[in-house]
Amino acid sequence: MTALFEYAVLQAVPRVQRGESINVGVVLYSQDLSFLDAVVHVEETRLRALDPDSDIEAVRDALDAVCRACRGEGPAGDTPLRQRFGWLTAPRSTVVRAGPIHTGKTDDPAAELLRLHQALVL
């Protein structure tokens, strides 16, 4: 069944005041297919090129929290998938933020997530 999905690219922002970022992951949600997941990858060399003092562990911790929220772990675990996606993609000024939300259609959201990750992050 082809279903609508929404996704956002996750960006690491080592110095918020400068506004520079690199793509470090993708979070994808499909209400029709009851799917919410994220795939992440931190390219340390690229991040340090923006800021040699980047807190790589803080970025990895933030991305781990996103992945855990997608799996329903932690405080977000009891909330509906739609609410979790909204929380994960809400605008914020932190070391990891979500870019704009985009939409598409797929019958395999897990494969689409990996395709987007390959195209937009790796």
One DSSP character per residue, 84-111 reads: HHHHHHS---SSEEEEEEEEEEES-HHH
Segment 73-83 mean pLDDT: 90
Lowest mean pLDDT among 48-52, 79-83, 91-95: 91-95
Which tens digit of pLDDT belongs to each residue from 1-44? 899 999 999 999 988 888 889 999 999 999 999 999 999 999 99
Q: Give residue 75's pLDDT.
A: 84
- How many structural domains compose the chain? 1
Strands of 3-95, DSSP E? 3-12, 22-30, 35-40
Computed over every residue of the chain, the mean pLDDT equals 94
